[in-house]
Amino acid sequence: MYRFSRAIYRELADEIIESPTGNRYTNHEKVLRACESAVERLATDRHYFARPTRTLFNDIRCFFPMASQRRVYAVVERYLAFADEFLANQPNNGFDVYGNPLQCRASTRKGTPCQRMPLPHNGYCPSHQHLAETEELQRTAAAAA
């Protein structure tokens, strides 16, 4: 997954503003770490990461001059779309991209995480499908408002 975060960084590295302390690598490190954490969160927590492009752009925009803000947003948007497409095309054999077993997104009545295997399209097991329907209704209501 680091290939996407490193690609974002490589394309934007020349435009990063140098640190006022004179150490130019501090801002570069911050941008790289922000890119890596956004891509990793996209890989591990896709259902709860609603706007990855906006989140990453807001994290790194302060390290770029105003003249290049539009280009930074376009680069972030393009590479995160590539990463999302790559993740969507991965086979779902019960494990995430890091080899961890998938679990249902719901909690049991006792408050512990559900241990059952989720369905690939929404992350809920067959017993908790009603929660996915509720989320869909909330999304449409929010979009209408």
Q: Is residue 39 part of a domain?
A: yes
Identify whether residues 79 and 141 lie together within a single domain.
Answer: no
How far is 113 from 77, CA to CA, in rounded Å?
A: 33
- Indicate the range of 48-52, 69-73, 123-127, 134-138 predicted with least confidence: 134-138
The mean pLDDT of 132-141, rounded to a whole number, is 75
Give the DSSP per-residue string, 54-71.
Answer: HHHHHHHGGGS-GGGHHH
Task: Report the alpha-carbon angle 28-58-22, nearest 5.
Answer: 30
Residue range(s) defining the domain that contains residue 14: 2-88
19, pLDDT greater than 70: yes
How far is 68 from 11, CA to CA, in rounded Å?
A: 12
Domain count, the chain: 2
